[in-house]
Structure 1
């Protein structure tokens, strides 16, 4: 699966997925993944972000 250009693929082929129930924060960006809601990512300063799942997406 690819999510855009090389700048978005910087983690490499040996990167593990974020487990359900876990949160990853890098700089001002925070992402979590839950079985019921999918992946949610937000900028902790602007509070803009998105949620995406198998059934829907939401931009904030």
Structure 2
């Protein structure tokens, strides 16, 4: 089984760059404190790295 990570939106996207808003939406996060579990892959890690100031990451 592949490793999984849990991504949670901890800061608002109000005032964020439009590109960052799209990345947050692509990660499956819609509202504050919403979470999404996804496989730990390089594509997901790259997207998280771009918006790391808005999200928190937990390894499962």
**TM-score of the two chains, using structure 1 as the length reference:** 0.24
Rg bigger for which structure?
1
Which of the pair is proportionally richer in helix? 2
Query: Counting strand residues as a fraction of each chain, which structure ranks higher?
Result: 1
Greater RCO, CA 8 A, separation 6+: 2
| TM score, norm. by length of structure 2 | 0.24
